[in-house]
Structure 1
């Protein structure tokens, strides 16, 4: 947590309120390491803060429901991506969301055919989630990160954009 952040529980969720003197009107929210961060202008009153925290929690929950991040939806999404970009050569034996990956976006065990996607990816844009899925699916075909591996991802049009997005998020979380 940064200096000046306040943390509390709202409806059973860990929430960090990050006040910023650079913000004038905008409010944003995202998930970070098992908690929700709500960034607000520093001039907001406590009542405005409470209103916006609840509003942003509702928006994130609605967004999560629309994405249907259960295992069934994740498996369907992986199958679609494998069919579209990997000639169906990378259908995992199992695929699931996991909460115990704090330094990786996903992981793959090629010998077992298993893929795990960090729940920190939930709430990110769909094209980023698709990239993380494709990245791990490609490891079912090519375990390393050599030229053959990157050639598998070349067909996905958002690879470089998603990698940049994830680098930016990692940088922001590490700050």
Structure 2
């Protein structure tokens, strides 16, 4: 990938902050006027790196579309569920009031809250494995958790989601009561 064109803009009013943004095909980096050329070079590289990381997170395949979400489910089902969990449909939905995601095993469908678009990929992967497992085991019994725990970051992801729900003061309890919509994590 080629480096984008960079335009550096210095400002006497800017004292210490550095920022950058895309403007068409170029990156504009805003710097304090007093900054040295070597500091400028270091900050331009740093800001390009930050922009790339930010754009990579936003463009993560599992976050772009329902089709990409479906493709990720296929990968996870193969890796952790012996390829046995195949949903008939999976899609992003508006934020749910009491769930991160839900599954209707009788229909083979999975719905994932758009709230999860911003979580780390390993957390989203856990939620997908959780919901895919409901296609094999509808309840939350020991056999269900035996499958889910094949995903190595299960406990870590559960902790992350619990912390996220607490911080946002969401009433997301994990939904361990069994119903047609599963509850999911």
Alignment TM-score > 0.5, same fold: yes
1:9-88 alignment runs, 5 A limit: 63-67=57-61, 69=63, 70-88=65-83
Report the Cα distance in structure 1 between the residues aligned to 2:148 and 2:87, rounded to whole angstroms: 17
Distance 2:60 2:112 in 1: 18
Q: Deviations over 1:40-75 (max 9, x none)?
A: xxxxxxxxxxxxxxxxxxx86663223452011100
Structure 2 residue aligned with 1:128:
123
Q: Deviations over 1:119-158 (max 9, x none)?
A: 1000110100000000000001111111010000121110
With a CA cutoff of 8 Å and minimum separation of 6, indicate the structure with the bigger relative contact order.
2
Q: Contact 1:60–1:123 (CA<8 Å) still a contact in 2?
A: no
TM-score w.r.t. the length of structure 1 is 0.63
**What count of residue pairs does the alignment treat as equivalent?**
121
Does 2:178 match 1:147?
no
* TM-score when normalising by structure 2: 0.60
After TM superposition, where is structure 1 displaced by more than 6 Å over at least 4 residues in a row? none
From the CA coordinates, give the structure whose radius of gyration is larger: 2
CA contact (8 A) 1:82 1:91 kept: yes
